[in-house]
Structure 1
Amino acid sequence: MHNSSPGYAVVDLETTGLRPSRHDRIIEIGIVHLDAAGQITGEWSTLVNPGRDLGPQHVHGINAADVRHAPTFDDIAATLATLLHGRVPVAHNLPFDLGFLSYEFQRLGVVAPLRHDLGVCTMAEAVRFLPHAPRNLAGCCAVADIPLEGHHDALVDARAAAGLLRHYLALAGTAHPWHPLLATAARTSWPTLPGTGTPWVRRGVSTERDSHFLARILDRLPRVPQPVMADSYLALLDRALLDQHISAAEADALVQLAVDLGLTRTDVERLHHDYLTALAHAALADGIVTTSERRELDLVATLLGLPGESVDRALTRATREHPSMPSRFKLATGDLVVFTGEMDGGRETWEALARQAGYVPHPNITKKVRLLVAADPDTLSGKARKARAYGIPIVTPDAFNGMLL
């Protein structure tokens, strides 16, 4: 998207919270360009890696698996400066968006010429143009008959705010209220920033980019892995499957360990079959495989990229032999458990459940912590980064709840 003529830059942000002064960060930016007459001339958007947890994910719907592919604000600062240069900034709640953008630029030592008195706030202008509308974006769009599908996607919301601006311009007619702002924006200079050429990233990128982790392990000549290597891989696999889910970060760790151990894809496939057989043996310990146990076996086979008949083969094999596997992870009374991210019911509720089960909630990650419970297992929080470095399992609240039963 090019900045070839004066006009407006309609901006919307998704953030980790409401206050940059409390270390909240931008995690998605959407920008729509309009010319002076209100015609859309281009748009741009990207997720932004904030280097921390993502805050209320139930609101913005952004997951860490996508954000880990995204550029940092530093990576896109030059692009943003180009997109905003010479244009009147517009947003629904302009002080909020400009406050976050200014803060992010300040973190880079850059003073951005962003002033809300030199921009257009479509929420504030609704008092004049939509006097009976609710002030939120959805309410204004409903009254102005502007589509808003996919609310809390930054580009979707920027398009909606752009629609409101066009609606206001149409109502204003020849009495264009913001001509002076256009002239001021054209005269305003922006600092020149070095560009990194980092590509933008949209939601859903993890699904597009991440093949099954097994396919990322090189297939060399098959060989039998040494027992110590097999044990190390199986132990990590067991930790990854504590919550019956393999997060993007856990998949990366499994691939890296396989590479470090010199395991081929054939080796890893064999270990996956061994792991499934060990689970089948445990399910058969009481002489019957329940519906829930079969469901778990089928799920694990799917997560490990094994064919559909693998579970039946594992059950047959388990009746003939006793597979060996490192002891499975299990919490014990007095174990330290850390919580991170915004969870249903609040973190205090989950900490209380941990205490009732005999575990000890801990505020920070240390080498003595046994488990990290995260709202998003791919979270980018400092706690999660340290847990991964220490080899501490990370599970979802639902998985932790299952461990309490």
Structure 2
Amino acid sequence: MGELVFFDVETTMPTGAERRCWMLEFGAILVCPKNLVEIGSYCTLIRPVDLSVVAPHRISGITREAVSSAPSFEDVADQIYKIMHGRVWVGHNIRRFDCPRIKEAYADIGRSAPEPIGIIDSLNVLSQGFGRRAGDLKMATLASYFKIGPQKHRSLDDARMNLEVIKHCATVLFLESSLPNILTNNNNNNIGVVTRSKAAATLTCRQEISRKSPPTCTATTHRASPYNTRGLGKVVEKAKDALHGARGSRPLNTLLRHSLLR
């Protein structure tokens, strides 16, 4: 398997007749697939052509003023291409939201977009393997369930949160497969599989944003707090090590099944 690149883009929220989501921030981390350790990162704010499409107030802090002095997408296109091209792309709802935004941005400047060698969309994977036990499958909900911390709605932070959520989900599935009669009995009535309706194919940009996370355009303040990446303590670390050593294990195959598709 090639290197994994967990990425996330922050965009404008379309209003009125404006249906286009304009990229405001790109963030990505390179992750070694053998031990799930971050080995590199890149993040940048992006100034859209029309600053009026950017809300003056956002919880995340990506405001009109913040991006006014940021580089244009054309200025950072080479760096984004370098970190993305020829790697396995990983993210939450990236097939329907983030990937199209990448292609749109490169089309705007008349250049070919980077191409992945595979895509793992954690929204699709977790809907099949993890179900509704944590409620809906928004990143903020999953992070709250595992007590990782609040979603910050910043590209680099959300990419790192996505990695932690996947680690925690894989650990739970591994433990349940080890003692299925003990660890799954209390959950049988709550676990369900999230299915996609045909209407999903016609979701708007605004609706796809809501699938990634709750709305962020508001004038309220937000106090950031660090993620607690040790929510399951030593149990998580030991189980994670076991995951890496069991390539043919059922829970790991379940989590990644149908995910590495172009």
Asked if TM exceeds 0.5, the reply is yes
What amino acid is the match of 2:156?
L
1:130/1:140 contact within 8 Å kept: no
The CA RMSD over aligned residues, in Å, is: 3.0
> Residue in 1 aligned with 2:24?
27
> Residue in 1 aligned with 2:121?
121
What is the number of equivalent residue pairs in this alignment? 177
1:126/1:140 contact within 8 Å kept: no
2:74/2:109 contact within 8 Å kept: yes
> Residue in 2 aligned with 1:46?
44
Paired with 1:153 and 1:44, the residues of 2 have a C-alpha distance of: 12
Paired with 1:81 and 1:113, the residues of 2 have a C-alpha distance of: 5
3-state DSSP class of the match of 2:126?
helix
Shift of 1:146: 2.5
Paired with 2:86 and 2:258, the residues of 1 have a C-alpha distance of: 13
Gaps of 5+ in 2: 175-242
1:88/1:181 contact within 8 Å kept: no
Residue-by-residue CA offset, 1:244-289 (whole Å, 9 max, x unaligned): xxxxxxxxxxxxxxxxxxxxxxxxxxxxxxxxxxxxxxxxxxxxxx
3-state DSSP class of the match of 1:24?
coil
1:27/1:54 contact within 8 Å kept: no
Distance 1:18 1:159, change over 3 A: farther
What amino acid is the match of 2:38?
I
Larger helix share, 1 or 2? 1
> Residue in 2 aligned with 1:261?
none
> Residue in 1 aligned with 2:145?
143
Distance 1:98 1:155, change over 3 A: same
Q: Give the stretch that moved more between structures: 54-63 or 6-15.
A: 54-63
> Residue in 1 aligned with 2:92?
92
What percentage of aligned pairs have identical amino acids?
A: 24
Paired with 2:162 and 2:14, the residues of 1 have a C-alpha distance of: 19
Shift of 1:58: 3.0
Paired with 1:169 and 1:81, the residues of 2 have a C-alpha distance of: 30
1:92/1:122 contact within 8 Å kept: yes
Distance 1:168 1:33, change over 3 A: farther
Shift of 1:167: 3.1
**Structure with greater contact order relative to length (CA < 8 Å, sep ≥ 6):** 2
Paired with 1:113 and 1:81, the residues of 2 have a C-alpha distance of: 5
> Residue in 2 aligned with 1:163?
164
Distance 1:121 1:15, change over 3 A: same
Distance 1:113 1:48, change over 3 A: closer
Gaps of 5+ in 1: 186-405
Paired with 1:39 and 1:22, the residues of 2 have a C-alpha distance of: 37
2:30/2:38 contact within 8 Å kept: yes
Distance 1:129 1:146, change over 3 A: farther
What amino acid is the match of 1:8?
L
Shift of 1:50: 0.6
2:9/2:98 contact within 8 Å kept: yes
Shift of 1:13: 1.1
What amino acid is the match of 2:19?
R
Residue-by-residue CA offset, 1:176-210 (whole Å, 9 max, x unaligned): 5459977x89xxxxxxxxxxxxxxxxxxxxxxxxx
Shift of 1:23: 3.7
TM normalised by structure 2 equals 0.58
What amino acid is the match of 2:30?
H
Residue-by-residue CA offset, 1:26-53 (whole Å, 9 max, x unaligned): 0011111111122211222111001222
2:47/2:73 contact within 8 Å kept: yes
What amino acid is the match of 1:22?
R
Shift of 1:113: 4.6
Distance 1:114 1:17, change over 3 A: farther
TM normalised by structure 1 equals 0.39
2:23/2:46 contact within 8 Å kept: yes
Highest CA radius of gyration, 1 or 2? 1
3-state DSSP class of the match of 2:89?
strand
- 2:102 corresponds to 1:101: yes
1:49/1:72 contact within 8 Å kept: yes
Residue-by-residue CA offset, 1:118-145 (whole Å, 9 max, x unaligned): 3111122222343212211111112233
What amino acid is the match of 2:148?
I
